Amino acid sequence: MIEIGDLILRPLELKDVTSLYRFRNDWEIVRFLGGHSVGYSHADLESWIKSHSSRADEILWAIAERGTDECVGHVGLYKIDYRVGKAEFAIVIGDTRWLGRGYGTRVTRTLIEWAFLQLNLSKVSLAVLDNNQRALHIYEKLGFKREGVLKDEQIRDGKYLDLILMAVFRAEWGAHPTRDST
């Protein structure tokens, strides 16, 4: 478990299905997420938790409210390649009460630092839709650099969106001036 202010990162559990169902089917949340769609059932999400929790190349946590242990989002490292020292990062905060309070920045910073220090990774990459300006701001503030763009990769609200590929490197992480600020 990792504590971050009023939130904790802990393993996803089956008790989180109700919360996941609520925000993974909320178009106002999902429209900013690449590769996600609405229409998940409770059974789909139970299977998703079980399959991801047993993978050796993934580490996935619930973002939970400290006082109630209610799941308000999830964050993870995917496609972890220990040989090369890299992984893909993804986060979703699905409870709008926690948006705009700096938690996306703090959770992202905490997990990236954990990936570099605990897993000894050298690179963490991600993909973000170009309509997700809040996430782009956070990633750039934390030192992620754009590595490429996949044009017209997703469609939302009848419009094609680009997928921006970004990465941050351990060698640059400690030297980044805004890494420690919110």
**What's the pLDDT tens digit per position in 4-56?**
988 999 999 999 999 988 888 776 777 667 666 667 888 988 888 988 888 89
What pLDDT was estimated at residue 39?
Answer: 76
Would you tell me how many other CB atoms lie within 10 Å of the CB of residue 128?
24
Q: Report how far residue 12's alpha carbon sits from residue 179's, in angstroms, rounded to the nearest whole number.
A: 27
Which sign, positive or negative, has the C-alpha torsion 172, 178, 181, 182?
Answer: negative
HSE, side-chain direction, 13 A CA sphere, residue 111: 29
Phi, psi for residue 176 in degrees, rounded to 5: -75, 125
Q: Give 71-113 pLDDT, tens digit per residue.
A: 999 999 999 999 999 999 999 888 777 677 788 899 999 999 9
Name the active-site residue from 40, 82, 103, 139.
Answer: 139
Q: Report how far residue 64's alpha carbon sits from residue 11's, in angstroms, rounded to the nearest whole number.
A: 10
- Structural domains in the chain, sorted by start: 2-173 (3.40.630.30)
Residue 82 among the catalytic residues = no
